[in-house]
Amino acid sequence: MTDATTNDQLGGKSLFGTVTNPSNIMPTKMGLNSQLKFRCHPKVSCFTACCGNINIILTPYDIWRIRKPLNLSADEFLLRFTVPTYLEKTDMPGVKIHLDAEGRCPFVTPEGCTIYPYRPTTCRYYPVGMSFFHEAAEGGTSEEFYFLVKEPHCKGHEEEQTMTIREWRADQGIDESDEMNKEWMELVMRRKSFGQQATLSEAAQKIFFMTSTDLDKFRNFVFNSSFLSIYDIDQTTLDVIKTDDIALLKFSFKYLASSLFGTNDLKIKSEKIMAKADELKMSQAESEAKAEETYKKLREDRDSLQESIANLKK
């Protein structure tokens, strides 16, 4: 029913394919045509057992999809239902569902999930996990594969229904979620592939968090800051993202790729590039002048020292 990413020692489920307890992962690499023997329904004895003591990371699309029917602004939703976390052992900040005092998901009731049509991507995947090998270089390819998570409390594995992973994905609405999450997931995996060698500045972390969690703030940032004096965005795109949340969401991934990894997804205005080049030239000229001045001063000090020594010898 659910699947969640973890930085803590909770649950055995992960959006990004890492599982806290590896003994629950079946050692078989699965593809889209592999068979899955599993069924979850309200009559299983474990019904909703998987909706507690877990970490459910929310993707930007999850946040938007859940909060819209609840009629909540991004701010209100984040405050009421999420807590901050780091994504997949990176320094990229994100949010996960805030569990109640008993460690249960706030959306679960004895009758099941109250946001079932809008449930997070991780909840759709479970008990299947998806992971991929990714080449870090720009344009690097990814190879997706699947695996089965078999936790002792989950009785769905004892049911007789079988279907392929492809059918499971369609049944759970995973294809649509993945399509919406893909570019954002790639950003996280790309950051992860850099390991500890590089860290995001505090300013970059703030931009990533705001853009990934709060579309309202991101829209305000695009239209009411210096954003449009820096990036060259065509009028048609601007007209669309002004009102269309999904278009804005996709645009936000391009902005993140461009600002965090220097991709060409968004075009920087040529006058800004010229101004930056002038700024660099200026600072280079300033550094050269400063170095020359320091060198001159050192020579003067040395000459005066030599003169003092010569005078002492007289």
At closest approach, how far in Å is the CB of 185 from ligand SF4?
18
Q: Rg of the chain over CA atoms, in angstroms?
A: 27
Task: Establish if 96 lies at the interface with ligand SF4 (CB under 6 A).
Answer: no
Which of 49, 70, 163, 200 lies at the binding interface for ligand SF4 (CB under 6 A)?
A: 49
Is 57 within 8 Å of 4 (Cβ atoms)? yes
Q: Among 238, 260, 262, which residue's Cα sits nearest to residue 248?
A: 238
Q: Indicate the residue among 46 and 246 with the shorter CB distance to ligand SF4.
A: 46
Within 72-130, residue ranges assigned H as helices are: 74-81, 121-125
Identify the sign of the CA torsion 23, 182, 82, 199.
Answer: positive
Contacts to ligand SF4 from residues 136-195, by CB under 6 A = 153-156
At closest approach, how far in Å is the CB of 35 from ligand SF4?
18
Q: Indicate the residue among 122 and 259 with the shorter CB distance to ligand SF4.
A: 122
d(CA 229, CA 222): 10
| Cβ neighbours, 10 Å, residue 47 | 18
d(CA 259, CA 281): 22
At closest approach, how far in Å is the CB of 24 from ligand SF4?
12
- Among 108-116, 177-185, 231-239, 279-287, which window interacts with ligand SF4 (CB under 6 A)? 108-116
At closest approach, how far in Å is the CB of 148 from ligand SF4?
12
At closest approach, how far in Å is the CB of 137 from ligand SF4?
35
Task: Establish if 119 lies at the interface with ligand SF4 (CB under 6 A).
Answer: yes
Task: Establish if 11 lies at the interface with ligand SF4 (CB under 6 A).
Answer: no
- Among 44-52, 191-199, 245-253, 298-306, which window interacts with ligand SF4 (CB under 6 A)? 44-52
Q: Indicate the residue among 108 and 266 with the shorter CB distance to ligand SF4.
A: 108
Which of 18, 34, 46, 194 lies at the binding interface for ligand SF4 (CB under 6 A)?
A: 46
Strand partners, 97: 82
Task: Establish if 108 lies at the interface with ligand SF4 (CB under 6 A).
Answer: yes
Let me know how long the chain is: 314
d(CA 248, CA 209): 15
At closest approach, how far in Å is the CB of 80 from ligand SF4?
14
Copy the structure tokens of residue 193.
């592939």
Q: Indicate the residue among 22 and 110 with the shorter CB distance to ligand SF4.
A: 110
Q: Indicate the residue among 1 and 189 with the shorter CB distance to ligand SF4.
A: 1
**In sequence order, what DSSP letters do the residues of 15-63 get, joined into one string?**
TTS--S-GGGB-S--B-TTSEEE----TTSTTTTGGGBS---EE-HHHH
**Please, which residues have CB within 8 angstroms of residue 40's CB and are 6 or more apart in sequence?**
1, 156, 159
Residues at the site binding ligand SF4, with contacts judged by CB under 6 A: 1-2, 40, 44, 46-51, 56, 105, 107-108, 113, 115, 119-120, 123, 126, 153-156
